[in-house]
Amino acid sequence: MFHSDRPLIKVDQPIWAKAFSMISLILLIIASIYLAMSWGDLSDVIPIHFNAAGEADGFGGKWSAVMLPVIGFFMWGGLTALERVPHTYNYLGKITEENAEKQYKNGMQMMNVIKNLCVILFAYITYELTLIGTGGDANLTAGVMPIFMTLLFGSMGWFIYRSIKLSSFRR
């Protein structure tokens, strides 16, 4: 088995991580319901890609809008399952009996934040595509992706920093 030398311990997620997961799932469900309720008003051709300025530069059929929530639900489910097996993750240092619980908890929290930020982005884009496809004004501005990328990579950097601090090779 991969990483069979690592301790297998159960690590519980903190309440904030569980709440963050529920919030992202609820937002994705709401965006999906909004898409379903607006289906009859959705034009046959909708924007499916946007440039850096937030302007539509790719178009497709309205069925393409369904892919975003579908991918979001698969992502939420798959990454939630992956959160539960932190002993299979790659870590910067050796996992020992002494640091396993803290490293696993840090890894699970990083996976949780990555999952939820991505799912929230999918929910937001689903909402915006539906709004645009029904003739509404979009709020998809040039700042959305830089903000998302800053949050995503900033949080990853924070958890990697914490992992290094928790590593046994730290002097």
In tens, the pLDDT along 105-152 reads 999 999 999 999 999 999 999 998 898 888 877 667 778 888 999 999
| pLDDT tens sequence across 58-100 | 888 989 889 999 999 999 999 999 999 999 998 888 888 888 8
What are the structural domain ranges in the chain?
26-166
pTM: 0.87
Give the burial string for 68-93 (b: 16+ CB within 10 Å, else e): bbeebbebbeebbebbeebbebebee
Q: What is the pLDDT of residues 121-130, one digit of tens each?
A: 999 999 988 9
